[in-house]
Amino acid sequence: MSDTRADGARRLPATGTPIALTDRHQRPLRDLRISVTDRCNFRCVYCMPKEVFGRDYAFLDRDELLSFEEITRIAAVAAAHGVHKIRLTGGEPLLRRGIEQLIAQLAALRTPEGEALDIALTTNGSALAVKAAALKAAGLRRVTVSVDSLDDELFQRMNDVRFPVSRVLDGIDAAHEAGLGPIRLNMVVKRGVNDGEVLDMARRFKGTPYTLRFIEYMDVGTTNGWSLDEVVPSAEIIRRIHDVFPLEPADAVVPGETAKRWRYVDGGGEIGVISSVTNAFCGTCTRARISTEGRLFTCLFASSGHDLRALLRGGAGDDELAAAMASIWGARDDRYSEVRASLTPELRAQRKRIEMSYIGG
Ligand code: SAM
Ligand code: SF4
Ligand code: SF4
């Protein structure tokens, strides 16, 4: 058993390390998103536009990346202090060589209650057809696959590397057959680009084992030239689908879910909407992010991260690592999506923001 101190921190007998249970808004640390590479084989227009991420772009060198052992150590310390869920992301996580080995290492970790962690991965699906079975065998539980359009011409234009949508759809089916479900499909909706695809996507995945989720286009980073006019509010998406396939709201399954669930009235399954812009959910945000080279970010919109790699490579023990993470989380005050609307475009532009491909979605 642990004893709770007056300052809200807890002393765990296993390590003797004081940890903050919650941040400054009483949000616990529950989920860790780990970016395993800053590279990607796609150049999605809203994430890694070619003009910025071209041939001359300086990606991280191999020795700058956290090793699998370093990632596992961070995950183990996090798991000992409240994290239940780990999502691997990137860049494109399936480009990291030997990712199955990392998954196997993470799958061996246990919470203090003796439970295995919920290990998931977000991917563009391009390598899933080849890798799905090995990922499952290594201990991956679920995948989320990004699909922005079913129209091949538009899909290829959006990924900007001429990658055909049929190969991603094959990858999704392979993941399903391998047992990597329930599978979620993420569609980022950008007005004037793929918002005309919303109904086709809903129609295609209604009544399948896949749950489609519509994501509002966000102002992550500074390279995608975001403008509020390009955001399609979730309410509009629901209205458009509801007009053709009636929907009703469904209860959250887990408290603090990012997606709001909607159910087809005719029993054709569910969809989700992630309203990061029009209906922020910072109040229940329990996520920390680890960048590819080991910086801990307490918000997707943070301007800087905390260098855990320096601690690891400087010989810090688990206690020291835990204390650092606890103090960073304890000081967390982030709620960018809630304050976004109050910022003028000039103030927003002045804010330094990290790229989605660097920190992972
Ligand atoms: N490469 C993988 C993929 O595309 O699924 C994982 C990394 S990607 C950065 C994670 C998720 O972030 C994807 O679902 C992607 O569509 C989403 N994303 C990227 N940029 C975004 C933006 N500006 N607004 C909203 N979602 C975004
Ligand atoms: Fe790559 Fe994913 Fe970003 Fe697209 S959204 S460029 S697939 S990291
Ligand atoms: Fe969490 Fe930051 Fe997103 Fe708010 S803006 S939900 S605090 S990551």
* Residue at 1 is within a domain: no
pLDDT recorded at residue 226: 85
The CA 239 to ligand 2 mean position distance, Å, reads 28
* Residue at 11 is within a domain: no
Atom of ligand 2 nearest to the CA of 41: 1
Atom of ligand 3 nearest to the CA of 300: 8
Mutate to test the pocket of ligand 3, among 300, 333, 353 (most ligand atoms within 8 A of CB): 300
Atom of ligand 3 nearest to the CA of 340: 5
The CA 334 to ligand 3 mean position distance, Å, reads 7
For the chain of 361 residues, list the mean pLDDT of each consecutive stretch of 10. 40 46 92 97 94 94 97 96 95 98 97 95 98 98 98 98 98 98 97 97 98 94 82 97 98 85 97 93 94 96 93 96 94 87 74 71 64
* Residue at 8 is within a domain: no
In angstroms, the CA 353 to CA 22 distance is 24
Domain span at 251: 31-359
* Residue at 334 is within a domain: yes
* Residue at 189 is within a domain: yes
The CA 298 to ligand 1 mean position distance, Å, reads 18
The CA 296 to ligand 3 mean position distance, Å, reads 14
Q: Taking the model in full, what pTM does it have?
A: 0.92
The CA 343 to ligand 2 mean position distance, Å, reads 27
**Pocket flag, ligand 3, residue 358 (CB < 6 Å):** no
pLDDT recorded at residue 341: 75
**Pocket flag, ligand 1, residue 122 (CB < 6 Å):** yes
* Residue at 324 is within a domain: yes
Residue having the nearest C-alpha atom to atom 12 of ligand 1: 361
Residue having the nearest C-alpha atom to atom 6 of ligand 3: 282
Evaluate whether 183 touches 143 at the Cβ level (below 8 Å).
Answer: yes
Quote the number of domains for the chain: 1
pLDDT recorded at residue 360: 67
Atom of ligand 3 nearest to the CA of 289: 8
pLDDT recorded at residue 353: 66
**Pocket flag, ligand 3, residue 337 (CB < 6 Å):** yes
Q: Which residues contact 220 (CB under 8 A, 6 or more apart)?
A: 47, 226, 300, 301, 353, 354, 355, 356
**Pocket flag, ligand 1, residue 194 (CB < 6 Å):** no
In angstroms, the CA 54 to CA 309 distance is 27
In angstroms, the CA 53 to CA 51 distance is 6
CA atoms within 13 A on the CB side of 164: 3
Alpha helices in 160-315 (DSSP H): 165-178, 198-205, 234-244, 308-313
The CA 104 to ligand 3 mean position distance, Å, reads 29
**Pocket flag, ligand 3, residue 210 (CB < 6 Å):** no
Strands (E), 39-92: 85-89
CATH for 258: 3.20.20.70
**Pocket flag, ligand 1, residue 272 (CB < 6 Å):** no
* Residue at 230 is within a domain: yes
* Residue at 12 is within a domain: no
Ligand 2 site: residues with CB under 6 angstroms?
40, 42-44, 47-48, 90-92, 124, 146, 357
In angstroms, the CA 135 to CA 142 distance is 9
Residue having the nearest C-alpha atom to atom 1 of ligand 1: 92
Give the residues across from 11 on adjacent strands: 3, 18
Nearest ligand, CA of residue 184? Answer: 1
